[in-house]
Amino acid sequence: MSDGIAKHPGLNLGPGHGKDDAAAEGLMFGFWVFMMSDAILFGMVFATYLTSLSATAGGPGASQLYDLTSTFVETLLLLASSFTFGMASLAMKYRHSERRLVAWLLVTLLLGLAFIGVELHDFASMAAKGGVPTRSGFLSAFFDLVPLHGLHVAAGCLWMIALLGQLVRYGVDTKAKLGIMRLALFWHFLDIIWIAIFSVVYLPGCMHAIG
């Protein structure tokens, strides 16, 4: 980092934030470690999915169920939300007005909720085509992996609402800053997971349909 030695990977508050920056060191490192653990969780569920691709048990498969247009929209929504969260982090780091910070967070929240909405719509249309988790091992694995990511996003939205409440109540104090920084990491992490889901689950599934 140009403004001093980074205390932890990712966006640092920087020495200008004084004791808040110091307080971030252990907490942010701890959150990185937590995400490593969470990544293993996703790794296991990805492995289950990849080893269950042929376990359709005569039921509908990827090519009948996935809708690439819709998942592409989801991808854009989530990537955009990561961008807006990045803007929120910068607003916090460079001490722009609190209103700007809250506005970027609200835009992120809306994009996140829109993502969840489109995803739920996807699941419903899959179910309408007989794609329910009780149908086969393959669908069980799908509905373990993709909704697990969705649940994480939902938890992130809830967390963001709670943080917005803290901002309203206390302003941008130490604890609110550290909360936003951790949620930011979590949010970008979920973006990466989604890119993996899009590349490993949806793209090959739909390619197969075209091929």
Partner 1 sequence: MLAHPFGRLRLQALPFWDMLQHPSKGVVINGIIATGAALMVVLGGIVTVALISRYRLWRVLWSQWLTSPDHKKIGVMYVVLAFVMLIRALLEALLMRAQQAYGLGGGFLTPNHFAQLFSTHGTIMIFFMAMPFLTGIINYVMPLQIGARDVSFPVLNSISLALTAAGAALVMISLVLGTFSTGGWLGYPPYTEASFSPGVGPDYWIWALTLSSLGSTFTGINFAVTIYKKRAPGMTLMRLPLFTWTALCTSILMIFAMPPLTVATAQLALDRYLGFHFFTNDLGGNMMHFANMFWLFGHPEVYILILPAFGVYSETISTFSGKALFGYRSLVVATMAIGVLSFTVWLHHFFTMGQGADLNAAFGVATMLIGIPTGVKIYDWMWTMFRGRIRFSVPMIYAMGFMLLFVLGGLSGVLLADPVIDYQVHNSVFLVAHFHNVAVPGLLFGMIAAYHFWFPKAFGFRLDERGGKVSAVCWILGFMLAFFPLYALGLMGMPRRTVAYTEPAYVPLETVAFFGAILVVAALCALGVQLWVSIKHRHANRVFVGDPWDGRSLEWSISAPPPEYNFAAIPVVTDRDAFTVMKESGAAYTAAVPFEDIEVPRNSALGPVLGAAGFAIAFGLVWHIWWMVIIFGTIVITAMIVRGFARNTSRVVTAEEVRRQHQHWMDAVARAEPIARDKETTSANEGLAMPIDTGAEQ
Query: Which one of 4, 16, 18, 26 is in contact with partner 1 (CB under 8 A)?
Result: 26
Going by the DSSP 8-state scheme, the letter that residue 133 receives in this structure is T
Instruction: Determine the Cα–Cα distance for residues 81 and 85; give it in Å rounded to an integer.
Output: 6
Identify which of residues 34 and 83 has a Cβ nearer to partner 1 in the complex.
34
Site string for partner 1, 27-46 (x = CB under 8 A): --xx--xx-xxx-xx-xxx-
Residue 55 lies near partner 1 (rule: CB under 8 A)? yes
Query: Which one of 158, 192, 207, 209 is in contact with partner 1 (CB under 8 A)?
Result: 158
Contacts of 9-14 with CB under 8 Å at 24 or more apart are 10/181, 10/184, 10/185, 11/89, 11/93, 11/181, 11/184, 13/92, 13/93, 13/177, 13/181, 14/93
Element (H, E) at 96: none
Number of residues that bind partner 1 (CB under 8 A): 42
Planar angle of CA 105, 110, 116, nearest 5 degrees: 125
Site string for partner 1, 170-189 (x = CB under 8 A): x--x-x---x----------
Residue 64 lies near partner 1 (rule: CB under 8 A)? no
**Which tokens belong to 138?**
């393959």
CB 57 within 8 A of CB 136: yes
CB 208 within 8 A of CB 68: no
Alpha helices in the chain (DSSP H): 19-50, 62-65, 68-93, 98-128, 137-170, 174-197, 203-210
Site string for partner 1, 94-133 (x = CB under 8 A): ---------------------------------------x
CB 170 within 8 A of CB 176: yes
Instruction: Determine the Cα–Cα distance for residues 149 and 127; give it in Å rounded to an integer.
Output: 18
Query: Which one of 1, 76, 120, 162 is in contact with partner 1 (CB under 8 A)?
Result: 162
Position 78, amino acid:
L
Listed ranges 63-71, 115-123, 137-145, 198-206: which one lies at the site for partner 1 (CB under 8 A)? 137-145
Residue 25 lies near partner 1 (rule: CB under 8 A)? yes
Identify which of residues 82 and 136 has a Cβ nearer to partner 1 in the complex.
136
Query: Which one of 23, 56, 60, 64 is in contact with partner 1 (CB under 8 A)?
Result: 56
Query: Residues interacting with partner 1, by CB under 8 A?
Result: 25-26, 29-30, 33-34, 36-38, 40-41, 43-45, 48, 51-52, 55-57, 59, 133-141, 143-144, 158, 162-163, 165-166, 169-170, 173, 175, 179
